[in-house]
Structure 1
């Protein structure tokens, strides 16, 4: 699966989780860039991303991610 396709799905997930149809994520997007992205929403987001891509993250991966680009790298390796 290519990065563009991953981003298409991720944008849908982010828009659903944060209930904001204007969200468009990129490699540099972080929690600081999205108003409601706090620790609780991060958990919800990771669960929804896992469901959308049929994968499971381990705690180390989740803790290590610094931006959406790193999330995409992990997804790309798994699907």
Structure 2
């Protein structure tokens, strides 16, 4: 899966999780930039990403996710 396809799939997951149809993902996007992105919605988001992409994150990987760019890097390492 290439990066544009991954971003499309993640955008769908993010928009559904946060009920925000106009949400645009960028590498720099963080929880501070999205309304209602708290600890509970973060765990829901991670769960939806795992289900949607058929992957599992390790705790140490979750701790490295400082922004969407880091999330994409971790996912890319898992699916390639």
Matches within 5 A, 1:15-26: 15-26=15-26
**Bigger relative CO (Cα 8 Å, ≥ 6 apart):** 1
Whole-Å separation in 1 of the counterparts to 2:51 and 2:29:
21
Displacement of 1:48: 0.3
Query: In angstroms, what is the RMSD of aligned CA positions?
Result: 0.6
Number of aligned residue pairs: give it.
79
Whole-Å separation in 1 of the counterparts to 2:29 and 2:35:
12
TM (normalized to structure 1)?
0.96
Unaligned 5+ runs, structure 2: none
TM (normalized to structure 2)?
0.95
Runs of 4+ in 1 over 3 A off after TM superposition: none
**Alignment pair present for 1:50 and 2:50:** yes
